[in-house]
A = this chain, B = another copy of it.
């Protein structure tokens, strides 16, 4: 994987760059839609390509449980399995073990947990997480970390930073000679000195990129922004920086302003399935009665398949009638919105007007 910064916005910390992988090139700041189980829900690979997606995220935890990483490896890896020619990043499974599984038990060696699918007991430690991700064959893989809950007391977070560093070193050992890019994850909760300590330790080990984990776990936007701003200075400028699980467009702007290059979030896809559509003027709840006879598209300036072919009235009808097409058309639109939003972000950086871009965004949202 190659990464280079191609432009720094003179009005702030935002930067534009590009990443080249064995599965294509994409520009940063980049948004990665989430294909949890090897499918971005309701979309085909062609839909993703048409939305301009260059890299997607798949969840190691889910694919490990079903259909199993061994099966995917025997079938030629995740790209071939899901027929996706673009780049893929797999997370380490740590966050899903924390948020989805039952009876989680953490030891020095890793985490024992119960599957959310069938209740069976499993163990994943740093080497297991690497083996699974090697089998899946993503372009970018993530170190196995311990994600502290929020709120958490100081001692819990300190221990989570210690375990995360210990496991990060093991992840590096387990992936010697592997061609996949490996990103380290910085933990440290909302505590400035623990974030600094975690960042210094992880960076010292030398990864291909650095992620901020343990955010979007319930903290408010100002806290999240503060932690990102305080942590980024400890990350090297020549490696990609990835803010995991973030987020809303405004959170992405905060991250980009702080120098973040990569984002992922289920928001555009999950909201679509719940009938919440993104527009420049804020969210549009398609089930609302006011759209029953509204012949306009969701967004008159949007060029997606949904907006160029279907009215709000039809989308509302599909949603109310629980037609499967509703989920796909809504997701196509929301993803198109996000990809267009990121294109706008990159253009603004290129033209040294990212600060203005942010102001314009917040003004429009408040209309």
Contact = CB atoms under 8 A, between A and B. Distances in A.
Interface string A162-179: 000000000000000000
Nearest to A62: B321
Interface size range on A against B: 35 or more
Contacts of A82: 314
Given A45-B309, A83-B309, A309-B83, A38 B329 contact: no
Interface stretch (A24-32, A70-78, A192-200, A226-234): A70-78
A311 interface: yes
A274 to B, nearest CB: 13
Copies in the complex: 2
Given A74-B293, A75-B313, A83-B310, A328 B324 contact: yes
Contact of A317 (B66, B310, B313, B316): B66
A325 B43 contact: yes
Interface string A33-71: 000011101111110000000000000000000110001
Nearest to A295: B75
A310 B295 CA distance: 36
A348 interface: no
A231 B74 CA distance: 56
A106 interface: no
Given A293-B71, A293-B74, A39 B313 contact: no
Interface in A307-341: 309-311, 313-314, 316-318, 320-321, 323-325, 327-329
Nearest to A314: B81
A292 interface: yes
Given A39-B318, A81-B317, 6 more contacts: A39-B325, A42-B324, A75-B311, A81-B311, A324-B324, A328-B328
